[in-house]
Structure 1
């Protein structure tokens, strides 16, 4: 790590140890009493946000705010993955706000940034990103059917979105909506993005969708847009730029998720190691069973391999930019690798915990549910594997490879 990165790492480690982990029980007790349909934030979160701000642990994800590179941020995001329901938000580094803040920072007008980016950076409001739709395969964004048609000084929006993270939270005030503004344009110039305040007439939150039966505090919602009118001034960038904005937004978001997934896997491994040293079966600790030792060794190998790939992707973004072909391929690689790795490690931890592993006495079941869902959101595994394969098939053979082929062909 750089000296700056090391300093942040030590301070964030202390903050997690002193404040975040002790707050988990308070958070869970509040959520249990509130019930699954209450999406208000537990008060402990706002208390922790104040403590994080006081310690300078705030907006670490955004280089323009923190001065940290992606590579410097990666170990910090990993730490927050140990307590994924609390830690990312209390340092203002939680999705989807991070992606939305990056989008507003890159593409927002001065007025848009003042109205929405500033309160997001201050942690005063939350936001959501409305792209996925129930009626089409949204992994191919060209399928998106929501229309955003110009009518005088307004755009009129009609459509249905779902799995829109964060909308159930009463603090969510703004949506970035992706829809079709020009169906006659080339396929990648038909879509645009526009800012829609949540309280705009015609915006209806139909329901919050559970993930494996669990309702997140912030919610993952289905929303209808019925004749929603917003001013032309709410458009991000220009008509037809939706795909370009999406790529700029999703690249960092994908790698941030992967950084946190490594932290979640580390916590699962720590729980596994603790469990097998204390539990006796067939006359000896589980830790002395060969199959258990193999599960631990595999988990350590996979976590460390994934971390190195994640850091390589972060370094490549720093060196060549998020839009470079090298960065896009590496982000696809890590997005395909990290969630699967986390699922595998968490599953092994569940197995050695037995019945405890599938209940809420330990966080493993919830960790597994989130990371299994992560294999779908921000692009399913298959889409990322397709990107990786296309890059490999299109790679020009170097002289070394050509020489090696001569003796075979």
Structure 2
């Protein structure tokens, strides 16, 4: 039986030998991160026995609990393409978890099985242009009206990650009974995937971040995911695990950037000695090491809570909010120091830390901006004494 430690080491080797060479082709060689590349990497991951840390063994996955996922995904996150290669990248990571916990048997067979096995990609359409829903889901403008045969959805979304080429979209729409989730197939004539938005992060996500329109989009009753009116509650099922998976993946990249930096400043000399001998450089290295260790600890604590109390527990929501806030900012600090310690070479994509920094910037916004998370953390703390 393979232990978690063995799986971590196997994942490290897979990323080093098969993913990082492709990453350089994407970052510095102009290769596009598309579905052909994804499928090729995922096939290699399956051959290496590291595919599916989030998926059930019934779908070819590893069946790991959250604590084991934290260790494995840190190893996978050493490359921008590592989480994609093992099928643990947004939005599929959260959608796999959501469907596994909410979908009925027919929906699991139709949507979860191909998603968890890597045959297809998915998207979730929640965020809307102003004045619609963003950080505040109560501002939801997209509407689903019930008919004799099902539902008709109308509304506009944007930042729908992975929409181009997704086999299906989970649409969150307002109904008479409250927000509701609907499964909408790619070939539905009422689903229109529009412009791929030109965002800072574009290396690791096939399908981009897109504008999506639902125009008289007809779906049957069987398309309702979970319960009518329970859309926001169901969103919480995926939110805590998804936030933590982001943390796991990006921490892996920070760890790699730290090692690249150590290697660089050990070899590079200035003022008669290696840069690593200068006290100011050592201070930056130490600060990054502290950030990495603290981030790893917060992730481990939150992962244990999810395993023991479930993702909907108040403690899990609180701890994943803390982890997401700290880790997103700690990763940014580590990557920024990596660029600084690489000097002028740090701002070129010949040295990958430049691309790491740009790609990671959105981490402080996606799945909850730091400011909103701080607000929610404080509210929970202040509610306690009262």
Instruction: Name the counterpart of 1:223.
Output: 212
CA displacement, residues 199-236 of structure 1 (integer Å, 9 cap, x when unaligned):
21132222111223756543111111111111111001
Determine the C-alpha separation between the residues in 2 that align with 1:395 and 1:166. Answer: 39
For the structure 1 residues 28 and 41, does the alpha-carbon distance in structure 2 shift closer, same or farther, using more than 3 Å as the test? farther
Using the TM superposition, give the Cα deviation of residue 10 of structure 1 relative to its aligned residue in structure 2, in angstroms.
2.1
Matched, 1:271 2:260: yes
Does residue 194 (structure 1) correspond to residue 190 (structure 2)? The answer is no
Give matches, 1:292-311, under 5 Å: 292-311=281-300
Give the Å deviation of 1:196. Answer: 0.7
Pairs aligned (count):
381
Say whether the 8 Å CA contact 1:27–1:42 is kept in structure 2: no
- Distance in 2 (CA, whole Å) between partners of 1:363 and 1:202 is 41
Residue 242 to residue 20, structure 1, CA distance change in 2 (3 Å) = same
Q: Is the 8 A contact 1:166 1:219 kept in 2?
A: yes
| Of 84, 87, 94, the match for 1:89 | 84
Report if the CA contact (8 A) 2:54-2:96 is conserved. Answer: no
| Cα distance in 1, alignment partners of residues 31 and 49 from structure 2 | 32
* 1:206 match: 194
- Structure 1 counterpart SS, 2:218: strand
Give the match's secondary structure for 1:66. coil
- Please, what TM-score do these two structures have when normalized by structure 1? 0.88
- Secondary structure of the 1:356 match is helix
Specify every segment of 5 or more residues in structure 1 that has no aligned partner in the other structure, as ranges.
398-409
Corresponding residue SS for 2:167: strand
Q: CA RMSD in A?
A: 2.1
Q: Does 1:378 align with 2:367?
A: yes
2:10: which partner in 1?
A: 11
Deviations 1:23-72 (A, max 9, x none): 32344467x155xxxx63354x4333223223332221246753321111
Q: Distance in 2 between the 1:380 and 1:132 partners?
A: 13
| Structure 2 unaligned blocks of 5 or more | none
Query: Which structure's CA Rg is the greater one?
Result: 1
Change (3 A) 1:354 1:218: farther
Moved more, 384-393 or 298-307: 384-393
Does structure 2 conserve the Cα–Cα contact (< 8 Å) formed by 1:128 and 1:165?
Answer: yes
Helix, strand or coil at the partner of 1:145? coil
| 8 Å Cα contact 1:340-1:372 kept in structure 2 | no
Per-residue deviation, residues 292-338 of structure 1 (Å, max 9, x unmatched): 11100000011101100110000111111111111111001001001
Which residue number corresponds to residue 74 of structure 1? 70
| Cα separation, partners in 2 of 1:213 and 1:141, compared to 1, 3 Å | closer
1-structure distance, mates of 2:342, 2:28: 22
CA distance, structure 2, for counterparts of residue 225 and residue 323 of structure 1: 30
Q: Tell me which moved more, 382-391 or 364-373.
A: 364-373
